[in-house]
Every structure is written in structure tokens, then in C-alpha cells.
Amino acid sequence: LFARPWRFLTSVADIRQLPDIGSLEIAFAGRSNVGKSSLINALTGQKALARTSNTPGRTQMLNFFGAEGAAVTIVDMPGYGYAEAPKGMVDAWTDLIFAYLRGRPTLRRVFLLIDSRHGLKSNDLEAMQLLDKAAVVYQVVLTKADKIKPGQLDRLVVDTAKALAKRPAAHPEILVTSSEKNTGIDSLRAAIAVLVNG
């Protein structure tokens, strides 16, 4: 699946412009700057597929990526919780993100990215609540694992698992990744392969 070349398909700024229902979709969601676009690049082995930046708020639309013969479309989402952006923009992104997550029939799983240094925040809990309500399965990915000590990471995994245990749509397996060091990427690929093939 990830040996083939992936390409950009389309960008959507307004929920009314979503592409027609087609193949399965998986989405990468999470707070601004958590590493969504970087993880998509690591996953596909294509450094410049999704645009990344040091500055939060880089991804401002829903970006769809596909590959010839792949039975899945990857969706890169704007981040939520970017407090510094103008309120009008933040509201528009939040509406777009939540409308897509709530109402997309082909959305098979959401990878919910959490920065390993910060853990779950209140807006992550809001996103989880929405996904629980909509019965969309989400799987937590702890990102930027290279930034914290192994002991801290172990504790974070335990705490996060506890927080997920009571949530109806949460997938129980937590993934730990570093796009920088390329760790955990094979596990993420395997999780996606199971979704697409199984």
C-alpha cells in the first residue's frame, strides 16, 4: 500500500465541497502542530506530500491524498485548538473538522494524534466525545516520541490507555511514533493495512 506513489487529490475549505463518496477514508486529526502532516509524509515515505511547518495552523483545509490502486484515501486535517489564529478562522476550521468527522459515511478510522509532551487536552476530549457520539472509531497516536524520555513515554501510554478505556469508540491500541526518527511508522502502516484489507 505504501510502496506506491501517493499524490495530492483535492483540498476542501467548505464542507459542502467534499468530494463524492468513493473509497474508504482515514483521517489524521489532532491539535495544531501535533505532527499530522509530518506523519502522513513518514507513512508514505514522501517528504513533501503534505505541507508541514514550525508555525501552527499550516494545514487550513481538508487535504485528500490517494494512490493508484489503493483502496483508501488519506485525509490531512487542519489542527484544532490554535489559539493565536483569528477567531473567525479558528471557528471555520473547527466547524469544518467537526462536520467532516461527524458526517462522513466512508470515514473508516480517525487517527487522533496527541503530542507526547502534552498528553490529552480538553479539546482532544471534545473531539473524542464527538467521535464517540458519531460512532466513528478513533485510534490515538502519541507523536514526537523522540522529544521525551522513555520512562515518561511509558507513563503517558498507561495514563492514556486509562482515559480511553471508558470511551465507546476508542480503539484500544495506542500507537507511538516519531516522524523525525521514523519509529512506529511500520506499526501504523500495519494498522492501516488491516483496515483496508481486512
179 binds ligand GTP (CB under 6 A): yes
> What one-character-per-residue DSSP string does 132-154 give?
HHHT--EEEEEE-GGGS-HHHHH
Q: Are 56 and 176 in contact (CB under 8 A)?
A: no
For residue 144, the partner it binds in Mg ion, ligand GTP, none, with Cβ less than 5 to 8 A by kind, is: ligand GTP
34 binds ligand GTP (CB under 6 A): yes
37 binds Mg ion (CB under 5 A): yes
Closest Cα to residue 183, out of 138, 120, 116?
116
112 binds ligand GTP (CB under 6 A): no
184 binds ligand GTP (CB under 6 A): no
179 binds Mg ion (CB under 5 A): no
Residue 132, SS3 per DSSP: helix
Which of 59, 73, 160, 178 binds Mg ion (CB under 5 A)? It is 59
What's the CA gap between 86 and 5, in Å, rounded?
36
Q: Are 67 and 75 in contact (CB under 8 A)?
A: no
Give the contact letters, 72-91, x = binds to ligand GTP (CB under 6 A), - = no.
Answer: ------xx------------
Closest Cα to residue 110, out of 57, 160, 36?
36
Q: Minimal distance in Å, beta carbon 59 to Mg ion?
A: 3
Closest Cα to residue 33, out of 81, 99, 75?
81
Residue whose C-beta lies closest to Mg ion: 59
Interface residues with ligand GTP (CB under 6 A) are 32-38, 52-54, 56-59, 78-79, 143-144, 146-147, 178-180
